[in-house]
Amino acid sequence: MSSFIVARELRKTYRVGKVDVPALRGISLSVEKGEFVTIVGPSGSGKSTLFYMLGGLTRPDSGSVIIDGVDFAALSDGERTRLRKSKIGFVFQKFNLLPTLSARSNIEIASDIAGVKPDSEFQKQITEMLGIAQRLNHRPSELSGGEQQRVALARALINRPAIVLADEPTGNLDSKSSGIVLEMLRRSNKDLGQTVLMITHNPEAAEYGDRIIHMRDGQIVAPEENPQWTPHHPAAAEHLQS
């Protein structure tokens, strides 16, 4: 049986004026259903490009992305959009909330877009877990960055997507909000069985994953070439036990 998420030999080069900027130079990876995988690597190593590709938001120059046996390349734009809305929740470093809507509407809009009825009981549950239940009538500009990201995470989770993709979700957050966001991702993975892929710069955050993938220069680096990354960061281990 093949893996839940499969990427095969993904390549992508951006063209900037007359200059070719290679972003992905042949990335292959497999993620099993229910795994929590973190992806780390220096800035410019292609992590966000990979994120957009795994989410079906950009196409590779070559190579394929196969989600639950379905090859993105075999789908029409409409089918790909539908698959994305029904199966994937996205969290971005810069939150991407709609500024004119309340936090509540920002969350509910995900259900509207997916064409499903908002599950108010589940919404109550996750917004309470995220500590934003009392903030739902506020607009993003009236919320702290940490609160905005927690709203964005609630939006990503509200339809119970099988896959949660997060691109540096704690990159702009203080440590309290980071902890809440990471803990929620962990619960969505362990309690709800969601498959989570998280890109991060933070070694402690990376330890929330079951497995760490290292990227450099558009490629995956073999684990043995990363001696500075110990498999179990003591602080993360402590946090998980408490």
Ligand X SMILES: Nc1ncnc2c1ncn2[C@@H]1O[C@H](COP(=O)(O)OP(=O)(O)O)[C@@H](O)[C@H]1O
Structure tokens at 78: 């409409």
Q: Which stretch binds ligand X (CB under 6 A): 47-55, 82-90, 117-125, 147-155?
A: 47-55
The full DSSP string for 8-74 is EEEEEEEEETTEEEEEEEEEEEEE-TT-EEEEE--TTSSHHHHHHHHTTSS--SEEEEEETTEEGGG
**Binding partner selected for residue 16 from ligand X, Mg ion, none, CB under the kind-specific 5 to 8 Å limit:** ligand X
CB-nearer residue toward Mg ion: 47 or 214:
47
Please give the C-alpha separations between residue 59 and each of 13, 43, 112, 146, in angstroms, as whole numbers. Answer: 11, 21, 26, 31
Q: Enter the tokens of residue 25.
A: 């130079």
Q: Which does 111 bind (CB under 5 to 8 A by kind): ligand X, Mg ion, none?
A: none
Residue whose Cβ sits closest to Mg ion: 48
Q: Which element (helix H / strand E) includes 64?
A: strand 62-67
Cα distance between residue 198 and residue 173, in whole Å: 15
List the one residue from 3, 8, 11, 48 that touches Mg ion (CB under 5 A).
Answer: 48
Helix (H) or strand (E) holding 19: strand 19-31
- The item of Mg ion, ligand X, none sharing an interface with residue 1, based on CB under 5 to 8 Å by kind, is none
Site for Mg ion in 58-87 (CB under 5 A): none
Find out whether 108 and 159 touch, Cβ atoms under 8 Å. no
Of the candidates 131, 86, 127, the one whose C-alpha atom is nearest the C-alpha of residue 105 is: 127
Question: Considering the rule CB under 6 A, would residue 47 count as an interface residue with ligand X?
Answer: yes
* Residue 113 engages ligand X in binding (rule: CB under 6 A): no
d(CA 150, CA 130): 6
**Residue 49 contact, options Mg ion, ligand X, none, Cβ 5-8 Å cut-off depending on partner type:** ligand X
* Phi and psi at residue 205, to the nearest 5°: -65, -40
Based on CB atoms, which residue is closest to ligand X, 49 or 149?
A: 49
Q: Which of 3, 48, 81, 172 binds ligand X (CB under 6 A)?
A: 48
In terms of CB distance, is 23 or 205 closer to ligand X?
23
Residue 219 interacts, among ligand X, Mg ion, none and using kind-specific CB cut-offs from 5 to 8 Å, with none
CB of 34 to ligand X, least distance (A): 25
3-state secondary structure of 200: coil
Q: Residue 45 touches which of Mg ion, ligand X, none (CB < 5 to 8 A by kind)?
A: ligand X
Stretch that binds ligand X, among 37-45, 59-67, 113-121, 227-235 (CB under 6 A): 37-45
Choose, by CB under 6 A, the member of 1, 2, 19, 43 that binds ligand X: 43
- Contact present, 172 and 118 (Cβ < 8 Å): no
What is the β-pairing status of strands 36-40 and 88-91? unpaired
Binding site for Mg ion (CB under 5 A): 47-48
Binding site for ligand X (CB under 6 A): 14, 16, 21, 23, 41, 43-49
